[in-house]
Amino acid sequence: MDRRFSLLVALVFAMTAALAFGAVQTAMAAGGTISGAVAFKGDAPKPKKLKITKDKKACDKRPKFDSSLVVKDGKLANVVVYIAEVKGGKALEKKAVTLDQNGCEYQPHVLAVAAGADVTILNPDKVLHNIHTYSKINKPMNRAQPKFKKKLKVKFDKPEIMEVKCDVHGWMGGWIFVAGNPYYSVTGEDGAFSLTDVPAGKYQVQIWHEKLGTQTREVEVKDGETAKLDVEFAG
């Protein structure tokens, strides 16, 4: 009887260990990463200084430059790298984000937000702004934000890349990328991006820039591995 009992204990122990090992393996195998950088080939034109023609006290506190092509050391900023279609994977985190208009300039220039997440639009400028989205899928937003209205809260429900402009200040322009899944990244000055926990499989990765267009690259993701993706745009 004792012998049978110890055999049973050994068996239960072995099964528990096997299950735990399996769980660890599953956790480790939860997808892979796509990472790399976006480069700009050739000499980038010097960004033009923007002409501030209105509300100078609030809007001309610092020099402002055209942000539609930002290149530093050959790397391209403000590029959205994303997977449009993906099955499964991690949940889309509806993280709240902020779009600031401080000094009559959109910050960030390209804002990425999860569909359905809160976007807080700030107006610390003591002037009137009017936020106008040129959206085709989401309902276009065309809303005045008077100087006493320091914060506006909005949501965009559907995946889309839309331009945003201010109807009061013609030089104010930016973009909002509304993500339908968690696999998106916006490049900073180093041009780098990373999409993590992507389920294993083959994907069409979209690389979007407001001026230089969209490139599509097929990338294969393997569990626990990093797929390198380096992209180049020519001016």
The reply to whether 165 sits near Cu ion by the rule CB under 5 A is no
Tokens of 209: 């820039």
Closer residue to Cu ion, CB minimum distance, 38 or 121: 121
- Give the residue, chosen from 112, 131, 168, 229, that forms a contact with Cu ion under the rule CB under 5 A: 168
Beta strands in 80-211 (DSSP E): 80-83, 97-100, 110-114, 118-122, 129-134, 142-145, 151-155, 160-166, 173-179, 184-186, 192-198, 201-209
Tokens of 173: 């322009």
Would you give the DSSP letter of residue 51? P
Residue 66 phi, psi dihedral angles, 5° rounding: -55, 125
The reply to whether 129 sits near Cu ion by the rule CB under 5 A is yes
The reply to whether 37 sits near Cu ion by the rule CB under 5 A is no
Stretch that binds Cu ion, among 27-35, 39-47, 111-119, 122-130 (CB under 5 A): 122-130
**Going edge to edge, which strands form the sheet with 184-186?**
184-186, 80-83, 201-209, 213-221
Q: Scanning the structure block, which residue is given the tokens 């180093």?
A: 190
Stretch that binds Cu ion, among 10-18, 140-148, 168-176, 211-219 (CB under 5 A): 168-176
Closer residue to Cu ion, CB minimum distance, 55 or 118: 55
Q: From the CB of 167, what's the least distance to Cu ion, in Å?
A: 8
The reply to whether 166 sits near Cu ion by the rule CB under 5 A is yes
Q: Which helix (H) or strand (E) holds 34?
A: strand 32-41
Closer residue to Cu ion, CB minimum distance, 71 or 172: 172
Stretch that binds Cu ion, among 28-36, 107-115, 165-173, 212-220 (CB under 5 A): 165-173
Start-to-end CA distance of the chain, whole Å, equals 81
- Which parts of 169-188 interact with Cu ion (CB under 5 A)? 169, 172
Q: From the CB of 145, what's the least distance to Cu ion, in Å?
A: 8
Under rule CB under 5 A, how many of the chain's residues touch Cu ion?
Answer: 5
Q: Which residues bind Cu ion (CB under 5 A)?
A: 129, 166, 168-169, 172
